[in-house]
Amino acid sequence: MMPTPAPFSAFRIRQRRRVAARPSVCCDLAFIPAVSASLQQFGDRYLHRIFTPAEIQDARPGSSGFAASLAARFAAKEACFKLLNPDADTALPWKQVEVVRPRGRAPFIRLHQDLRHIAARQGIYYITVSLSHDQDYAIAVASAG
């Protein structure tokens, strides 16, 4: 009589552990007054080091909610870094994570250069994001697929 196979082989258990170890949803919270202070102290140097030209334009420079919009994008970038979990030695390439907000559609993340390759190696082919801000805080939730 042949033994019946176990419902889960050791290989499948290792696969499940590896997949379960990578989160599929991450979030981050940003303090809007800190972003505002960075804008005042460093100006364009801060803006162009962290954000792409499209992100800056989408946040509506000169508007009363400019710092809040940037803080939400900053939180989105941080949430993406948590999702991608690059090596400790990897520098955080801020502008390689771009928040894209098409008119009338939900925002999503566009990865550039190295981060696109890191994501593909992890089986991440798209990242959706939800942004919100109120008074002193901005939050972003990023979901990988």
Could you list the pLDDT tens digit for every one of the 145 residues in the chain?
555 554 544 444 444 444 445 679 999 999 999 999 999 999 999 999 999 999 999 999 989 999 999 999 999 999 999 998 877 677 778 999 999 999 889 899 999 988 898 899 889 999 999 999 999 999 999 999 8
**H/E run at residue 137:** strand 137-144
- 8 A C-beta contact, residue 72 and residue 40: no
139 token code pair: 């939050």
| Pairwise CA distance, residues 42 & 57, whole Å | 18
| Pairwise CA distance, residues 25 & 128, whole Å | 10
| Pairwise CA distance, residues 87 & 116, whole Å | 15
CA 136 to chain centre: 20
Question: Where do runs of H (alpha helix) occur along the chain?
Answer: 10-21, 32-42, 44-50, 53-58, 66-84, 113-121
In this prediction the pTM is 0.81
